[in-house]
Amino acid sequence: VMSKNKGSESVKVVVRCRPLNRKEESNGPAGGIVQMDLRLGQVILRNPRASASEPQKTFTFDAVYDASSKQRDLYDESVRPLIDSALAGFNGTIFAYGQTGTGKTYTMQGVWLDPEKRGVIPNAFDHIFTHISRSQSDKQYLVRASYLEIYREEVRDLLDPNHGTARALELRESPDTGVYVRDLTSCVCKSIKEIEEVMNVGNQARAVGATDMNEHSSRSHALFLITVECSQPGPDGRKHIRVGRLNLVDLAGSERQAKTGVQGDRLKEAAKINLSLSALGNVISALADGRSGHVPYRDSKLTRLLQDSLGGNAKTVMVATLGPAPQHYEETLTTLRYANRAKNIQNQPRVNEDPKDALLREFQREIARLRAQLNHRKWRSKQKKEQVEGEGWERDGDEETEGEDEVEVEVEKEAQEYVKLEEQRLEREKEAIREDQFLLAEEKQRLLGEKERMMGDLRKEQEATEQLTAKYKAMESKLLVGGKNIIDHTNEQQKMLEMKRQEIAEQSRSEREMQQQMLVQDEETLELRETFTSLQQEVEAKTKKLKKLYAKLQCIKAEIQDVNDEHVRSRQELEQTQNELTRELKFKYLIIENFIPPEEKNKIMNRLTFDPEEDQWKFQPLVPAESHCVFFLCCRPRTSCFWSWT
- Would you say the C-alpha torsion 592, 596, 599, 602 has a positive or negative sign? negative
- Return d(Cα 2, Cα 60) in angstroms, integer: 20
Judged by CB, which is closer to another protein: 172, or 434? 172
Closest CB 6 distance from another protein, rounded Å: 7
Judged by CB, which is closer to another protein: 287, or 528? 287
Judged by CB, which is closer to another protein: 140, or 352? 352
Judged by CB, which is closer to another protein: 292, or 534? 292
SS (H, E, C) 441-486: HHHHHHHHHHHHHHHHHHHHHHHHHHHHHHHHHHHHHHCEECCCCC
Q: How far is CA 13 from CA 74, 278, 474, 505, in A?
A: 12, 40, 42, 16
Euclidean distance between the first and final Cα of the chain, in Å?
96
Closest CB 224 distance from another protein, rounded Å: 21
- Return d(Cα 14, Cα 7) in angstroms, integer: 21
- Asked if 246 contacts 228 with a C-beta cutoff of 8 angstroms, the reply is yes
Task: Tell me how long the chain is.
Answer: 646
Judged by CB, which is closer to another protein: 211, or 491? 211
Return the axis-axis angle of helices 359-391 and 407-435, rounded to nearest 10°: 30
Q: What is the DSSP string of 257-321?
A: HHHH-TT-PPP---SPPP--GGGHHHHHHHHH--SSS-------HHHHHTTTTTTSSSEEEEEEE
Judged by CB, which is closer to another protein: 31, or 311? 311
Judged by CB, which is closer to another protein: 297, or 587? 297
Closest CB 8 distance from another protein, rounded Å: 7
Closest CB 157 distance from another protein, rounded Å: 16
CB contact set of 10 (below 8 Å; sequence gap of 6+) = 343, 344, 345, 346, 347
Cβ-count burial of 262 within 10 angstroms (0-12 exposed, 13-18 middle, 19+ buried)?
A: buried
Binding residues: 98-105
Judged by CB, which is closer to another protein: 177, or 516? 177
Residue 89 zone, left/alpha/beta (φ > 0; ψ -120 to 50; rest): left
- Return d(Cα 435, Cα 76) in angstroms, integer: 81
Judged by CB, which is closer to another protein: 6, or 134? 6
Judged by CB, which is closer to another protein: 270, or 528? 270
Judged by CB, which is closer to another protein: 350, or 428? 350
CB contact set of 428 (below 8 Å; sequence gap of 6+) = 393
Return the axis-axis angle of helices 407-435 and 441-478, rounded to nearest 10°: 170
Binding residues for ATP: 98-105
Instruction: Indicate the DSSP class of residue 115.
Output: G
Radius of gyration for the alpha carbons in the chain, expressed in angstroms and rounded = 39
Closest CB 354 distance from another protein, rounded Å: 12
Closest CB 552 distance from another protein, rounded Å: 26
Closest CB 459 distance from another protein, rounded Å: 45
- Would you say the C-alpha torsion 226, 227, 231, 232 has a positive or negative sign? positive
- Asked if 16 contacts 107 with a C-beta cutoff of 8 angstroms, the reply is yes
- Asked if 477 contacts 188 with a C-beta cutoff of 8 angstroms, the reply is no
- Return d(Cα 90, Cα 226) in angstroms, integer: 12
Three-class DSSP category at 233: strand
Judged by CB, which is closer to another protein: 152, or 420? 152
Closest CB 618 distance from another protein, rounded Å: 12
Return the axis-axis angle of helices 359-391 and 441-478, rounded to nearest 10°: 150
Closest CB 7 distance from another protein, rounded Å: 2
Closest CB 135 distance from another protein, rounded Å: 25
Three-class DSSP category at 222: strand
Q: Name the site residues for another protein (rule: CB under 8 A).
A: 5-8, 167, 172-179, 182, 211-212, 215, 270-275, 277-278, 280-281, 283-288, 290, 292-297, 308, 312-313, 348, 350, 352, 614, 627, 630-631, 633-634
